[in-house]
Chains A and B, each alone.
Chain A
Amino acid sequence: MTNQLTTIKKLLPFLKPCRGLFVLALMAATVSSLLTLYIPRLTGEAVDCIIGPGNVNFHGALMIIVKIAVCACLAGFFQWIMSILNNKMTFEIVRDMRNAAFKNIERLPLKYLDSNPSGDLMSRVIADADQFADGLLMGFTQFFTGVVTILGTLFFMLMIDWRIGLLVVVLTPLSFFVAKFIATHTYEYAKLQAGIRGEETGFVNEMIAGQKVVKAFGREEAVLRDFDEINERMEKASLKATFYSSLTNPSTRFVNNTVYALVAIAGAFAAIGKLMTVGELTSFLSYASQYTRPFNEISGVITELQGAIACAERLVDLIEEEPEIPDPVDAEELNMPEGRVRMDSVCFSYTPDRELIRDFSLSVDPGMRIAIVGPTGCGKTTLINLLMRFYDVNSGSISVDGKDIRKVTRRSLRDSYGMVLQDTWLRSGSIRDNLTIGNPEATDEEIIEAAKTCHSHSFIRRLPKGYDTYIGEDGGGLSAGQKQLLCITRVMLSSPDMLILDEATSSIDTRTEIRIQKAFHSMMAGRTSFIVAHRLSTIRESDLILCMRDGNIVESGTHKELLAEKGFYYQLYMSQFSGKAI
């Protein structure tokens, strides 16, 4: 329960903007409920006009009939208005929460995103938010009418006989206790269900994304077995959550029926003692049954809300997750840097138990082309994570143009670099959308110009709709090389001040690669660039080649110097020509 309270507290800021709507909805609910309660009275009056054969007050009856019609229409209208307002509140609250969650995703440190399955995060933004909306909507709708009906009937009951009326008031909390007892137990199951649902979404996400591998290895059945395992747990948890939450309604109804029976007995004794007429007892009982019904609904709403809050909790957790340390207020803008990059005794590790980069120092002059080579896993990609400030160094410092990168805005730092990664990420959208990510204002001429320079123009032109061709998630039907060409064009178009190429051309044929490099060279003239590559042919022209091994630089120098050293680089270089069989 305390858990829920904290969650509700965290939800308040999202509920606040709806205060106005809330009041309006409450007013609409009041009007419509009161009119609805008034109709039975009118009906009674109409019946009084009909006494017997030849004794019917048609004029009076017709007047009342018209009143009934008007009341019904008005009640219906206000009820509709209330529903519209409720819809608006619910969907807008959830919209704001989704927006907040998404905004935070854009700000979370990579450390968090790298270590949380994206399927689970997605499940929070989509499925949990939906569940919350459903609960909230039901809550609003039933809550308003319920409250007004309770107050209205209570008023009428106390008017008829205050003693029995009080009895009803005193007994009412019973159903709330029952509802609360069930709700506390339901909450745990709802949370369990939401957790397993997240797990299942994660699994489905992973498997469907890798579906081709699943098929290639004939793992369909094995994967299905794993799925079954989660799915069965899901079924069990879901059965429990659904069943326990559905207990509330019958239980409170039972309590209410008992109260009703007690009222009937008390009323009957009162009638026998001539304290009340039979007619009064009849109307009292009819109000009593009207009075208890909203309690059923409200307690039903409470259980629904339990589930909703369990879902909201997961969403709020994501919204409240600590974002990246914000740029300091006095952060400078890195404006068209010359490209003097220094790394001073940098140490870094992803996990405390395994140090990856140790006491790493490097000084790069403007316009230098730095190549980083070394066996896989030696820390090359990590270096890029640090340069781009995706991760912060554990100790030491990195500076650009003499400014510590922690003291400049991330935006201007990242803006200074053009980055092409090994992982070619493309979004679903047109080719044009993808190319202009770094430079949304680019004109068609500029786009085509950049594409021609990067040799992607010819294949783009051949696609069904050229630059407007829609490519699906993850590049759809494009080959790895084509995707890389698009990523390179994308960077070319953003004309950065410095460049980072992490195995950027590994899937592009060497002929094209050489042409692209020429383009890069002319573009990068006088600009600092970092190149990670395996094909040593691509880096021979570099000003400085760093050979990395286990997070350290073991050799550095130009191609010629390093070859002359006959060390690590020499071995790497000669190995390309080693003519082993196959």
Chain B
Amino acid sequence: MKYAVSIYKNQDIQHLKDIADSFVLYIPKMSCVYDPEFNIDSALEELKGKEIILGINKVYLEWELDALREFVLRYSGYKFLVSDLGAVQILKEAGLLANVIYDPNTLICNSMELELFSRYGFSALGMSSEIPLADVQSAYRRTEAKIFYQVFGRKIMFYSKRKLVDIYKEFSGLEFGSEGMELQEFMRTEKYPIFYNEGGTYVYRDYLISLLKEMKNLSFLEYAYIEGITLNPEIIAKIALIFKKSAEIEDISELENELLALDLNIKDGFAYKDTAYVKEGFDGKN
């Protein structure tokens, strides 16, 4: 299992480069959420010799395809985190399917889907974080697929091509910068971080997922992904170290305490619960 961490800012690399195995870089215009100041080439230089995964995780509009093709060919020596089957097709035509981690976020929820996509020869497949861990384990047992799975950090829960914040600014007459924004639904107390750029609007869960206590049961993962958005790099480094150590020792209670001491809003998400779904089984008779 490789630990992959997100990189949004060049200055974060120095804190993380010796801790993680793989680095997912989020690139201006190519990724969903990114820092406009991020410089990919200097990041690649600084991470030379490490496994790099380039986040091309948008759902691309027709007019964005030429830039995507150019980008993929320019950085063909690296892996790609991909969410759009159109982007997959471009990588397929470039002979780069083995470099692809296909993670459509919410759409791979069972072993049949995992098996079907495994036939493409991807580097790994991202499974949904909105299903119980037991389903992830069962899907792996049935397929032995290479799985990319988020084990820590915030998870995106809304991705729109609408520029909702710019439109809201026009509606409200308010002027504000892009960082540090949160939404709160009127009947709730939780606050959801919201990001926006020219590609659209992105809203994250109010809490951080942590599957630390399950890492031994998840040793089959190809990639255990630590998402650091909204956290500072020193904290991410501490978390990555805690997760790495968890694979090496039997009793992780001390590590759990270390994680608790960071005083973060941590929950286990859907790890132990399934979403509500009323279904009628089909027995052939209806």
Q: Do A and B come from one complex?
A: no
Q: Which residues of B contact A (CB under 8 A)?
A: none
